[in-house]
Amino acid sequence: MPASPLSLPLKTAALGLVLLLGLAAACKRDNAKTVAINPASAAAAKVQLDILRDSVEVKWRNMVESDDQKLALTRLLLRELHGQPGRPEPQLKALEAANARLKARRYDQKTMASSALIDQYDSAQDSLLNALYPVAAPNGAASTENARNFVEGIQQLDAGVVGFRVIYDDAAKRYNNYLSLHQAELESLGGKYTGLKPMPLFTIGAK
Q: For 67, how many CA atoms within 13 A lie in the half-sphere containing its CB? A: 24
User: For residue range 23-36, what is the model confidence (pLDDT) as tens digits?
Assistant: 444 444 444 343 44
The long-range contacts involving 79-85, CB below 8 angstroms and separated by at least 24 positions, are 80/136, 80/144, 80/146, 80/147, 80/150, 81/135, 81/136, 81/147, 84/143, 84/144
Neighbours of 84 (CB within 10 A): 14
User: For residue range 134-169, what is the model confidence (pLDDT) as tens digits?
Assistant: 999 998 899 899 999 999 999 999 999 999 999 999
Q: Which residues contact 96 (CB under 8 A, 6 or more apart)?
A: 75, 78
User: For residue range 70-84, what is the model confidence (pLDDT) as tens digits?
Assistant: 999 999 999 999 988
Distance from chain centroid for Cα 112: 12
pLDDT band at 41 (very low <50, low <70, confident <90, very high): confident
Between 8 and 202, whose confidence is greater? 202
HEC letters along 71-119: HHHHHHHHHHHCCCCCCCHHHHHHHHHHHHHHHHHCCCCCHHHCHHHHH
pLDDT reported for residue 140: 86
User: For residue range 80-124, what is the model confidence (pLDDT) as tens digits?
Assistant: 999 888 889 999 999 999 999 999 999 999 999 999 999 999 999
Tell me: pLDDT of 18 over 80.
Answer: no
Q: Would you kindly state where each structural domain of the chain is located, as residue ranges?
A: 44-193
The single-letter code of the amino acid at 16 is G
Alpha-carbon gap, residue 28 to 23, rounded angstroms? 9
Report how far apart the first and last C-alpha atoms of the chain are (Å, whole number): 80
